[in-house]
Structures are given as structure tokens and as C-alpha cells.
Structure 1
């Protein structure tokens, strides 16, 4: 049986773990990087911007990479090498899923009713085709 997820990890803790593994630094033209642009946003690195270099030697803007890592399995966007253990990524995803569930816990019918109340008969135009 799979491992039990005891406590979800919030975003601050998740990003702290990323920082511990791959500390951010400031880009400078003398810094040796594999590419002159971030593979996530495709923008060139600018002097003084925060970047993060992973163990696999791929470099990204810190904010681009941090956003990427939170979306899926915490792997490098280029080579898919693990940045954080799978268990950590799963715990973070669980926290994110819980937050989404808290946003709206109603039924599909309840949502349709709310939309109808907000938008009137606009929705009925689409269902009468």
C-alpha cells in the first residue's frame, strides 16, 4: 500500500525546502550558465535578477522555477530530474487540493443555481440549442 500522507505542506515550507536544496542567487554576466535565457518564460537573464540553479545544472529565474515546481511533481522543467522527494511534492499538492476544496464545497446543481442568480437568463440561451 502507498505511503500515508500525514500532514500537508504549505507553500512557505515547500519553497523553504526548495531554497535549502538549490539556493537562489543574483545573476551576473560573469556567472556561468548553460543558457542565456530561462527555459520556463524564455526571457533572457538580466543583471541582478534572482536565479536558481538546480543540481542538474539547469538554471531558471527563481520565480519561474518556484512556480513550476509547485504545479506538478517538483522536477526540473528540462530534464525532469527530481528537485524534491516525491513525498514532499505529494504533501504540497494535498495542501493545494484542500485549499481548492474549501473554495467551493457545493454541488454542481448549487453552482448552476448561483450562476443563474448572478447572470439571469444568459445561461438558458446556451441550453436552448
Structure 2
């Protein structure tokens, strides 16, 4: 018979490899699901369609870490080619990189500031709803009521 302290050590020595095995199995299973196109099957969360959010859609097409407000803003803000602008700035104020003629950009309707589409996507991904430069609302003034109604409906639909 082993003394009590040896038994505790034995349990730890036995449990650590078992826990490592579970972690390995979880990671393997998650990777397999990811390759099958089901990366969030194991850990469900509030779900929204990241590509298109409409007021009539029900939540639950796929998990997304993008705030609902950002998804709605992406629908409201016009995306244009840099080459189509008249007298634009030389560089993006977020990343400080020069604009290329084929870059997709967002020109904010309230303040007319211009950003790379990906830069503003990242900014909105932090649940920011204002211009990174002047802090005016990203929501166009003429669409504020519609934006608030749709956001309210989507938030109510996503409650667990």
C-alpha cells in the first residue's frame, strides 16, 4: 500500500496524459471539421450570415465574430474603386499605405473620408461605429432610422 502522498502523485501522473489525449482529440476533431467546412460545429455561438444580413433573415447560417452593427454598416456604406474618385487623398489614414487604382475603398457619406475597405472592416470589427478620423457616425444620416430598426430586430432574433 502506498502512502497518501504517493497516491496523489500517481493520480497526477495518470491524469496529465489522459488530459493531453483529450486535448489532442479535440484539436484533431476541430481540424477535421474545419476541412469539411464546419469549423464552428463544436462550439455554437450567436450566428449570423457574414456575407449578407437582411432584416428578414433568421440568425443561424454560420458563426461569426463580426459585430452585427458592422455587418449592417457594410451593407449601407458604398464601396467604390479608387480610380472612380475625383481628387482623392494619396493614402489611407488607417494603414498609411498609398491607394492603388484598383483598390476597393469606402467613402464615408457623412464626412467624405476615404479608407481601404479592409482597413475600415478591421475598424468596424472592433465594434466602432464612428469615422477613425473625425468620429462622425459611420451610419449615413438619411439611413439612421432604418439602421437602428434592423439592428434592433437582429439583436432580438439572436438572443439565446
TM-score when scaled to structure 2? Answer: 0.43
Q: How many residues align?
A: 84
Q: Following the alignment from structure 2 to structure 1, what is the Cα–Cα distance between the partners of residues 88 and 82?
A: 13
Corresponding residue of 2:103: 49
Which of the residues 18, 27, 36 maps onto 2:90? 36
The higher-RCO structure (CA 8 Å, 6+ apart) is 1
Aligned pair 1:20/2:79, yes or no? no
The Cα shift of 1:82 comes to 1.2
Query: 3-state SS of the aligned residue for 2:118?
Result: helix
- Which of these residues, 50, 69, 73, is aligned with residue 124 of structure 2? 69
Asked whether the 8 Å contact 1:53–1:60 carries over to 2, the reply is yes
Give the greater-gyration-radius structure (CA).
2
Query: What is the root-mean-square deviation of aligned Cα atoms in Å?
Result: 3.3
Q: Once the two structures are superposed, what CA deviation does each residue of 1:68-121 show, in whole Å capped at 9, x if it has no partner?
A: 122143110000011147x75xx99xx9xxxxxxxxxxxxxxxxxxxxxxxxxx
1:16 shift after superposition: 3.9
1:3 corresponds to: none
Distance change (3 Å), C-alpha of 1:62 and 1:68? same
- TM-score (normalised: structure 1): 0.51
Q: Following TM superposition, where does structure 1 have runs of at least 4 consecutive aligned residues deviating by more than 3 angstroms?
A: 7-10, 12-16
Match of 1:78 in 2: 133
